[in-house]
Amino acid sequence: MINKSYKLVTLAAFALAAFMFSFSDRTGQAISPGAVSAVAQQNQPRHPEAKSDSGNLVVQLCDGKTSMEIDGVREGEVLTPEKAREVAAKMMAAVAAEQSRQTSKWTERDRLTWEREQKRVIEEGDKLFHDWKALGGTIGISCDMCHPNASNTHAETYPKFQTQIKKVVSIREMINWCIENPMEGKPLPLDDPRLIAVEAYMAAQRKGVPLDPGKH
Amino acid sequence: MKTRFQKLKIFLIAVSLGSMILALAHDGSAVGQKFKPDLPPAIPADLWELLIPKDNPMTEAKVALGRDLYFDKRLSVDDTVSCATCHDPKTAFAQPTSVAEGVGGKKGARNSPTVLNAMFNVEQFWDGRAKSLEEQAKGPLINPIEMAMPSHEAVVAKVKKIPEYAKRFQAVFARPVNIDDLARAIAAFERTQLSGDSAFDRFNAGDRGALSEEAQRGFELFKGKGRCVTCHEFNASSPFFTDFKYHNIGIGMKASGNFEQLARQVQQMAQAGKLDADALDKLSLTEGFSELGRFLVTRQPKDVGAFKTPTLRDIELTAPYMHDGSMKTLRETIEFYNKGGEGNPNLDGGIRKLDLTEQEISDIEAYLKSLTSERVRRLTQGSSQFSVFSFQSSAVRKYSSVFQE
């Protein structure tokens, strides 16, 4: 009699982590053509090895996310043909059910639009960072004069307790502080596209730095 | 002894000849002068360039050929229907009937979508069954209720018999008439049909006076309470008012028909290998099956009754609305969304009751009416046919010389 109890384990997070790791692992060192395929293979995203605590056999699908623990079959044992077919059918049905719940998937066009928009807003922020008039300054001081290339702005440390304001603030509130003094302008609404652009530019300069809110 | 000027002249001639040869060697189908687009202000030039297929570069002669094919009724079985019949510049490249009407007044099952900005679509048709404009153009030619030619071979034979076309195909593509080049020429013409010079575009570029107070409130509702922008995506990088995706909002789901059974029939056809491109094209215009929408292409349960988000540009000029043309007015359409669409098991998760007031509905309507291209509006008012190509009066002159045969 086939044991019908099984568990579905979703390991999407592990798969994602493995995928990210494969990118961060690139050294950029020159390697001989012969070595390329070996290194590339080594850096391929790998499915995490699924094991059950109870020592039951775990079957993983090629999507790297869907796996099933088979009660009554120990690790190292071979499934009977009937059992194997049953397991495969159940797992494929689970994948189909998952797909049927998904609405729209991201497309190449989505990525294209996101990248273009991100770049556009960062470039807009770059301009504003060097333009005191556009941010409403009144005395000719612009952001870059104290923070060339957004240095010492540390976007990754916000929200944090800002000593001038004496409370935990978002980075936009801190930009507004600078707009008021030293730039001698008026603070902008916190959803003002200009503030968002400046924030995007500052954050872009710290891309890849781990988040460390509250750091001083 | 040659003067420096003469040397320079020889050098320049050599360089230009060399680059012409290189250009020809690069792609045999790109014979002639490169087409320089006169893009409306809202269309990003780099995106336009990026979406021109590598195997169908734009040349002036090709666009001119495509234009003439687009308007030529001889491409249909009884010389009565052209591309322009259902995608008429005078009605913003759409058709004012609820569903498209082909030869002998035969009715399809779907409303004609506009050709304007269609080059930016990720897929073509309401269900995305064609991957490109080229592929799309080949469908209606041989659909029995559209242009009804018996086969693509028959189209080619008919076009070949028109000496002028035979000559021009040879000049443009450097080979005899064939169906793929015919589709390429039509697609090239369609890539010149753009919309992006509306009152809203002027407003968005900084002219605050370009929109009424009402339309400005409508824009805020469009982005906020109305939730329109989620599917009718608009930003500087994708200013087309569509996410190019497929959503079930319940249109057509109320109509009689057992969708489960229809879907099963489609699955069986596919499994039996009977659902090729031609069969799919016919099925998509068959009452009942048509309402399965995107499912016909993907055969995934989530896509039953899902249709592509259409653009909202020039929407005032392209009534009636929805994939089946079942709504006569913009107001009726907004009211449909306001009540949360039509409930069905596959309703898109983003659809919900909106609680818009009568005034707010009017505001959104006013905003939608600000999305009409000035150029397209002039076309619908029956200006010169050459203005099909231009956004400014100077451009009318520029293109008129190109397209006069």
User: Is the pLDDT at B396 greater than 70, yes or no?
Assistant: no
d(CA B54, CA B58) in angstroms, rounded, equals 10
A115/A187 same-domain check: yes
Residue B302 has its nearest CB partner, among A102, A112, A113, at A102
Report which of residues B403 and A130 the model is more confident about: A130
Residues of B in contact with A101 (CB under 8 A): 302
Cross-chain Cβ contact B238/A109 below 8 Å: yes
A89/A139 same-domain check: no
Shortest distance, CA A195 to any CA of chain B (angstroms): 18
Residues of B in contact with A116 (CB under 8 A): 44, 47, 236-238
CATH, residue A150: 1.10.760.10
Residue A104 has its nearest CB partner, among B235, B245, B301, at B245
Q: Is residue A93 part of a domain?
A: yes
Of the ranges A196-205, B80-89, B136-145, B347-356, which one carries the lowest mean pLDDT score? B347-356
Residue B115 sits at φ, ψ, to 5 deg, of: -80, -20
A91/A113 same-domain check: no
B99/B60 same-domain check: yes
A81/A134 same-domain check: no
A125/A49 same-domain check: no
Cross-chain Cβ contact A103/B302 below 8 Å: yes
B284/B365 same-domain check: no
Shortest distance, CA A113 to any CA of chain B (angstroms): 6
In which domain, by residue range, is B175 found?
45-195+382-403
Residues of B in contact with A104 (CB under 8 A): 243, 245-247
B60/B102 same-domain check: yes
Q: How far is CA A172 from the centre of its chain?
A: 22
Shortest distance, CA A185 to any CA of chain B (angstroms): 22
Mean pLDDT of B70-77: 96
B86/B104 same-domain check: yes
Boundary of a domain, candidates A68, A101, A134: A101
Give the residue among B334, B320, B325 at the shortest CA–CA distance from B368.
B334
Mean pLDDT of B139-168: 96
Residues of B in contact with A99 (CB under 8 A): 300, 302
Residue B235 has its nearest CB partner, among A100, A102, A113, at A113
A96/A119 same-domain check: no
In which domain, by residue range, is A44 found?
6-101
pLDDT digits (tens, 9 = 90+) for A31-85: 333 333 334 444 544 545 677 888 899 888 776 667 888 988 998 899 999 999 9
Predicted local distance difference test score (pLDDT) of residue B30? 54
Mean pLDDT of A105-113: 90
Q: ipTM more than 0.90?
A: no
d(CA A52, CA A63) in angstroms, rounded, equals 19
Q: Tell me the CA distances in angstroms from B99 to B87, B144, B309, one per residue in order.
A: 12, 15, 17
Residue A168 sits at φ, ψ, to 5 deg, of: -75, 125
A131/A184 same-domain check: yes
B205/B291 same-domain check: no
Q: Is residue B294 part of a domain?
A: yes
C-alpha distance across the termini of chain A, in Å: 64
Q: Is the pTM of this model over 0.90?
A: no
Nearest C-alpha in A relative to B44: A116
B175/B188 same-domain check: yes
pLDDT digits (tens, 9 = 90+) for B155-212: 999 999 999 999 999 999 999 999 999 999 999 999 999 999 999 999 999 999 999 9
Residue A109 has its nearest CB partner, among B122, B246, B301, at B122
Coil, helix or strand for B283? helix
In a mutational test of the B interface, the residue from A99, A104, A120 whose CB has the highest number of chain B CBs within 10 Å is A104
Predicted local distance difference test score (pLDDT) of residue A51? 75
d(CA B187, CA B55) in angstroms, rounded, equals 12
Q: Which of B101, B123, B134, B146 is catalytic?
A: B146
User: Is the pLDDT at A186 greater than 60, yes or no?
Assistant: yes
Cross-chain Cβ contact A107/B122 below 8 Å: yes
A122/A188 same-domain check: yes
Mean pLDDT of A80-106: 79
CB pairs under 8 A between A and B: 38
Averaged pLDDT score across all residues of chain B: 88
Of the ranges A5-19, B16-30, B251-265, which one carries the lowest mean pLDDT score? A5-19
A83/A114 same-domain check: no
Q: Which segments of A18-140 are extended strands (E)? A: 56-60, 66-74
A96/A126 same-domain check: no
Strands A167-169, B246-247: parallel, antiparallel or unpaired by DSSP?
unpaired
Predicted local distance difference test score (pLDDT) of residue A54? 85
Q: Is residue B289 part of a domain?
A: yes
Q: Is residue A1 part of a domain?
A: no
Report which of residues B8 and A136 the model is more confident about: A136
B89/B237 same-domain check: no
d(CA B241, CA B222) in angstroms, rounded, equals 11
Cross-chain Cβ contact B237/A117 below 8 Å: yes
User: Is the pLDDT at A24 greater than 80, yes or no?
Assistant: no
Q: Is residue A187 part of a domain?
A: yes
User: Is the pLDDT at A9 greater than 50, yes or no?
Assistant: no
Q: Is residue B62 part of a domain?
A: yes
**What percentage of chain A reaches a pLDDT higher than 70?**
73
Catalytic site residue B146? Answer: yes
β-bridge partners, B154? none
Nearest C-alpha in B relative to A118: B237
Cross-chain Cβ contact B300/A117 below 8 Å: no
Shortest distance, CA B124 to any CA of chain A (angstroms): 14
Residues of A in contact with B301 (CB under 8 A): 100
Residues of B in contact with A109 (CB under 8 A): 122, 238, 244
Predicted local distance difference test score (pLDDT) of residue B33? 87
Report which of residues A118 and B404 the model is more confident about: A118
Residues of B in contact with A107 (CB under 8 A): 122, 244-245
Q: Is residue A177 part of a domain?
A: yes
d(CA B385, CA B149) in angstroms, rounded, equals 27
Tally of domains within chain B: 3
Q: Is residue A213 part of a domain?
A: no
Give the residue among B53, B68, B21, B6 at the shortest CA–CA distance from B389.
B68
Cross-chain Cβ contact B300/A100 below 8 Å: yes
Cross-chain Cβ contact B247/A104 below 8 Å: yes
Strands A167-169, A160-162: parallel, antiparallel or unpaired by DSSP?
antiparallel
Q: Is residue B31 part of a domain?
A: no
Mean pLDDT of B367-375: 97
Boundary of a domain, candidates A58, A73, A101: A101
A113/A96 same-domain check: no
Q: CA-based Rg of chain B, rounded to a whole angstrom? A: 23
Predicted local distance difference test score (pLDDT) of residue B258? 83
B117/B216 same-domain check: no
Q: Is residue B7 part of a domain?
A: no
B212/B340 same-domain check: yes
Q: Is residue A216 part of a domain?
A: no
pLDDT digits (tens, 9 = 90+) for B324-347: 999 999 999 999 999 999 988 889
Tally of domains within chain A: 2
B147/B175 same-domain check: yes
Residue B244 has its nearest CB partner, among A102, A109, A117, at A109
Of the ranges A152-161, A177-186, B2-11, B30-39, which one carries the lowest mean pLDDT score? B2-11
Who's near B6: CB < 8 A, 6+ residues apart?
A: none
Sign of the torsion angle spanned by Cα atoms B167, B173, B176, B177: negative
Nearest C-alpha in B relative to A113: B237
User: Is the pLDDT at A87 greater than 60, yes or no?
Assistant: yes
User: Is the pLDDT at B387 greater than 70, yes or no?
Assistant: no
B233/B263 same-domain check: no
Cα B97–B102–B104 angle (5° rounding)?
A: 110
Dihedral angle of Cα B302, B304, B308, B309, to the nearest 10 degrees? -70
Of the ranges A23-37, A79-93, B187-201, B272-286, which one carries the lowest mean pLDDT score? A23-37
Predicted local distance difference test score (pLDDT) of residue B395? 34
Residues of A in contact with B244 (CB under 8 A): 107, 109
Shortest distance, CA A170 to any CA of chain B (angstroms): 23
Of the ranges A89-93, A184-188, B64-68, B232-236, which one carries the lowest mean pLDDT score? A89-93
Mean pLDDT of A97-107: 66
As given in the structure block, the two tokens for residue A17 are: 């982590």
Predicted local distance difference test score (pLDDT) of residue A103? 54
pLDDT digits (tens, 9 = 90+) for B14-62: 555 555 544 444 444 556 888 988 899 999 999 999 999 999 999 999 9
Predicted local distance difference test score (pLDDT) of residue A93? 84
Predicted local distance difference test score (pLDDT) of residue B397? 31
CATH, residue B235: 1.10.760.10
Q: How confident is the model at residue B5 (pLDDT cuts 50, 70, 90)?
A: low
Residue A169 DSSP code: E
For residues B172 and B185, the answer to whether their CB atoms sit within 8 Å is yes
Boundary of a domain, candidates A77, A101, A125: A101
B88/B155 same-domain check: yes
A122/A90 same-domain check: no
